[in-house]
Structure 1
């Protein structure tokens, strides 16, 4: 089958792309409104239009659309307000929790308030203004680098610069002064199309040519 994208709506293209660009990593993004005040509210949301794009500067990119009613999503509102975001890598066992945090809530309501704290809670993120999720093996403490608006909707590309990285000691080993993070121990959750997710198979190696 040959598919001409000019024959399809944006929504149809979305479904085609998310079922063919697979698997995709998930950015489990934590932001806050009213950061540093007694009215601070934490927001947690997953995004699978997500990737690492540069190491100098160290940048991650999240593509954020609008809420179903057309309003700006809280993740974008919050990072524009206070310039901070924590991006987590969720594990395969957290698929249900990740899905829960995809719910559309009114601004000022926290997804974390709806989840059993025995399953998911925050802890202090040393040397960073926001907390991190205690149950995630990997967390990036990032500051806003740039936001680019693209398309007619528009879609917001959030470029976040990594300032600090937390990795659980249990998924790390060191060899020849290089840190080795064991993907099989992290067991990262990946996004497929529709309502489908995936884990990873056993990692394998192939040497690159000289």
Structure 2
């Protein structure tokens, strides 16, 4: 389902956000890796369990992104700082294995969607245009929010 929040009143946005985010699911966040080769688009997909709605007017979501070993930023943080866009998905129950697999630590620029694992490759084939948003979304996720970074706290 794709909804343009700008088409809704604040009270409607509140109900849409609270009814799709509670009980607290895992945020499955897609960001664009800043590729060395600008011809190829490549995406990072990672799950985050610390995730919530913050406000409905303006509509704001919050994800908490920890650090990699060695106290370096995770790819999602790097991508949000440089690209300022993300798609926050709420996965379907039958996608739990893919969500878990996408938590793997990879070198920056390596996409979870391009791994040798066939289940993850299926996700790459399921990226679809997200109407009015520069990043794609995962076709079979029941909820996807096209987000612009509002603020990053460290």
Comparing both structures, which one devotes a greater share of its residues to helix?
2
Please say which structure displays the higher CA radius of gyration.
1
| Alpha carbons 2:44, 2:76 under 8 Å: kept | yes
1:29-79 deviation per Cα after TM superposition (whole angstroms, max 9, x unaligned): 000023793143200000010000101110000001101232210000001
Say what the alpha-carbon RMSD is for the aligned residues. Answer: 1.8
User: Counterpart of 2:134?
Assistant: 129
Q: Aligned equivalents of 1:34 and 1:108: distance in 2?
A: 7
Comparing both structures, which one devotes a greater share of its residues to strand?
1
Q: Aligned equivalents of 1:119 and 1:61: distance in 2?
A: 24
Runs of 4+ in 1 over 6 A off after TM superposition: none
Count of aligned residue pairs for this structure pair: 127
Where does the alignment leave 5 or more consecutive residues of structure 1 unmatched?
Answer: 1-22, 150-210
User: Counterpart of 2:27?
Assistant: 27
How many Å apart are 1:24 and its aligned residue?
3.6
User: Counterpart of 2:105?
Assistant: 104
Where does the alignment leave 5 or more consecutive residues of structure 2 unmatched?
Answer: 1-22
Moved more, 85-94 or 28-37: 28-37
TM-score by length of 2: 0.76
Once the two structures are superposed, the pairs formed by residues 1-210 of structure 1 within 5 Å of their partners are: 24-34=24-34, 37-114=38-115, 115-116=117-118, 117-118=121-122, 121-149=126-154
How many Å apart are 1:118 and its aligned residue?
3.4
- Provide the secondary structure at the position in 1 that maps to 2:133: coil
How many Å apart are 1:25 and its aligned residue?
1.6
1:56-113 deviation per Cα after TM superposition (whole angstroms, max 9, x unaligned): 1100000011012322100000011011000000111111100000000000100011
